Amino acid sequence: SCSPTAAPSTTSPGGSATGRCGPTTGCCRTTPSASTPPCGPPSGRCSPGARVVITPPGQKYDAKALVRLLEEEEITVYAAVPSLNSVLMEEPGIERCTKLRYVQSGAEALTGALQRSIFSRIKNAELINFYGPTETTVDSTAWVCERAEDPEAAPIGRPVANLTAYILDDNAQPVPAGVAGHICIAGTGLARGYHGRPGLTADRFVPDPFGTPGQRLYRTGDLGRYTAVGTIEFLGRADT
């Protein structure tokens, strides 16, 4: 069962429910090297021997060039934001990228329409929705989308290995399933704080009242709620 206090991790450290990357893996990134999107199933990173293909300058938003890159490099893991994926799925030839096994999405809402589009054009790939701010090393939760005839917008899922997600009210108390609250992240992925900004660090990185002594919790500023089965739905920013 899933507690509304803290969602359980989706994976064990160093592995995942669906497999790991290895020497036959080719990972394609469209994000800057300063960010760290996952390179494999949740939440596995590329194992030694896997290839990481960085999209060449000028081709990041060129759907035709991206399709050619995915096909020629035999990419198996591809990560991009939904707005880019929606354009990519309309590009002729995307069906030829038969080596794709994992399509990863994040930073924007993953709609049901885009899920249908991806599944109809990439037959053998899993679609994974990620959520997480930079302050928690980017990837904090993950959800493996199901192939459904009429899918709803994807939730952000459950925490990845070594992280815990809480939905808290204004008094830092857990809220029940279905009630909106503040998304807070705890665990080993938290940053130390903001460089040269002790006040902001103290405001955002606070003691974890549910963890062991010395453990911290990051207040993301995002709103979410638990579903009846313990997954998290993203509801937007608290300051908008």
Q: What is the CATH number of the domain that holds 179?
A: 2.30.38.10
Q: Is residue 14 part of a domain?
A: no
Same domain? 62 vs 117: yes
Question: What is the pLDDT confidence band of residue 30, given thresholds at 50, 70 and 90?
Answer: low
- Measured distance CA(205)–CA(191) in Å, rounded: 9
Examine the domain organization and report whether 75 and 148 are in the same domain.
Answer: yes
Asked whether residue 77 falls in the same domain as residue 117, the answer is: yes
Same domain as 136, residue 166:
no
> Does 149 lie in the same domain as 167?
no
CA pair distance 31, 107, nearest whole angstrom:
11
Q: Are residues 51 and 123 both part of a single domain?
A: yes
Q: Is the pLDDT of residue 154 over 90?
A: yes
Q: What is the mean pLDDT of residues 105-129?
A: 94
Q: Please state, in angstroms and rounded to a whole number, the distance separating the CA atoms of residues 180 and 122.
A: 34
Whether 23 has a pLDDT exceeding 50, the answer reads no
Looking at 18-22, 132-136, 200-204, which range is the least confident one? Answer: 18-22
Give the closest residue to 212 by CA, choosing from 164, 146, 142.
Answer: 164
Our count of domains for the chain comes to 2
- In the numeric block, which tokens belong to residue 236? 């937007």
Query: Of 138, 154, 170, which closes a domain?
Result: 154
Residues 133 and 191 in one domain: no
Are residues 120 and 173 both part of a single domain?
no
Q: Which of 154, 184, 212 is the last residue of a domain?
A: 154
Of the listed ranges 12-21, 134-143, 144-153, 222-231, the one predicted with least confidence: 12-21
Residues 230, 147 share a domain: no
Q: Which of the four pLDDT bands, split at 50, 70 and 90, describes residue 1?
A: very low
Residue 67 has pLDDT above 90, yes or no: yes
pLDDT, average across residues 11-38: 46
Structure tokens given for 2: 């899933």
- CA nearest neighbour of 162 among 129, 195, 190, 201: 190
Confidence bin at 88 (pLDDT 50/70/90): very high
**pLDDT tens per residue across span 163-209:** 999 999 999 999 999 999 999 999 999 999 999 999 999 999 999 99
Per-residue model confidence (pLDDT) at position 34 = 40
Name the band, by pLDDT with cuts 50, 70 and 90, for residue 36: very low
Residues 203 and 172 both lie in one domain: yes
- pLDDT at position 51 is 78
Q: Is 114 a member of any domain?
A: yes
pLDDT beyond 80 at 69: yes
What value does the mean pLDDT of the chain take?
Answer: 83
CB of 27 within 8 A of CB of 45?
no
> Among 2-11, 53-62, 114-123, 218-227, where is mean pLDDT lowest?
2-11
Q: What are the structure tokens assigned to 144, written together?
A: 């493996």
Q: pLDDT value at position 56?
A: 83
Whether 147 and 182 share a structural domain: no
Report the DSSP beta bridge partners of residue 142.
130, 158
**CATH code of residue 69:** 3.40.50.980
Residue 103's domain spans which residues?
23-29+39-154
Q: Are residues 54 and 130 in the same domain?
A: yes
State which of 154, 178, 205 marks the end of a domain.
154
